[in-house]
Amino acid sequence: MAEYICVFNKDTLLIKPSKKSPLFLRTIVLLFAMSPSPDANIITQLEPRIPTLHYPKPETFSRGECSKNPVRFFVILSMQRSGSGWFETLLNSHVNVSSNGEIFSLLERRKNISNIVQTLEKVYNLDWFTSASKNECSAAVGFKWMLNQGLVEHHKEIVEYFNHRGVSVIFLFRRNLLRRMVSVLANSYDRYAKLLNGTHKSHVHSQQEATALSSYKPIINSASLISDLKEIGSAAVKALEYFNSTRHLVLYYEDLIMNRMKLKDVQEFLGIPQMELTSRQVKIHKGPLSDFVKNWDDVNKTLTGTEYESFLRADY
């Protein structure tokens, strides 16, 4: 099916389907199928081959009080420590959005495609209740999904499901993969060290907590650093290729930090009223990366003169 691309700016892509809807084609097929014809069986066989809409008419709540409120379905596809938790709190500050967290962090929900679809159905049939669920009639419902949580292994079936249900995809990645690496290592360490009074926290809400967590300086394996960075970058590229046929938006954490107008693009993409989005989360590693890596000299020497040299200086 032909598509066109809207570019909000150079880093935000919105993929929309063409105006020629397959619903029109389905109508034609139905009319022919209702007419007595020796070729009726052939038409019936061809009908399933008509591509499904990438952006069908929004589903509606089955609950009576919300029966006239359209609902957009979405999913945030990301990697750990790429700003997805912060981004989700921003979305949930909108009165009409319910984003239900990292629901596939539990292995049982993603051990096979059957369990995955069952979980997706519960979310998009509006039967998934969390602290993010709104009392108001939500206009957009979704969750966040990490690439290493069964998403890539079952990408064909998941893409088919997304397109069938009209799920819009928001990719959220981080440009500075070195900062992400530092965050991953520090967060992994705190799972066992529990620096905040014996409690592990992946996200914090005060500068005092952020300072405590950032006090740990990980040692980065400089020997495998370049290959590790390439592997992370390749994973993002592969995900974009796998889910290219979905209706999707590509965002970067750094752009959201530097340009809050990006949040308006997100709200337009989801078809929800424009609001000021807020979050109480505080960034943990803020400032020069050299302050947060124990073997900084080795890392600096390894990346200087490579395509990743800019990661050494970027503030985000």
Q: Give the pLDDT confidence of 2-49 residue by residue, as tens digits.
A: 433 343 344 444 444 444 444 443 443 333 333 443 333 332 333 333
> For residues 135 and 98, what is the distance between their CA atoms, to the nearest angstrom?
10
- Element holding 75 (H helix, E strand): strand 70-78
What pLDDT does 40 receive? 34
Residues 97/138, Cβ–Cβ less than 8 Å: yes
Domains of the chain: 63-312 (3.40.50.300)
Give the Å distances, CA to CA, from 119 to 52, 116, 161, 284.
22, 5, 12, 32
What residues in the chain have per-residue pLDDT under 70?
1-68, 130-137
How many C-beta neighbours within 10 Å does residue 93 have? 14
Tokens describing residue 75: 């999913």
What pLDDT does 53 receive? 33
What pLDDT does 241 receive? 98
Q: Which stretches within 215-249 are classed as H helix?
A: 225-242
Residues 124/73, Cβ–Cβ less than 8 Å: yes
What pLDDT does 136 receive? 55
97-99 and 140-146 beta bridge pairing: parallel
> For residues 54 and 185, what is the distance between their CA atoms, to the nearest angstrom?
38
What pLDDT does 129 receive? 76
- Enumerate the β-bridge partners of residue 78: 146, 172
Residue 142, φ and ψ in degrees, nearest 5: -170, -155
What pLDDT does 66 receive? 59
pTM given for the model: 0.78
What pLDDT does 50 receive? 29
Residue 286, φ and ψ in degrees, nearest 5: -115, 125
What pLDDT does 239 receive? 97
Q: Which of 290, 236, 284 is nearest to 83 (CA)?
A: 284
> For residues 61 and 53, what is the distance between their CA atoms, to the nearest angstrom?
20
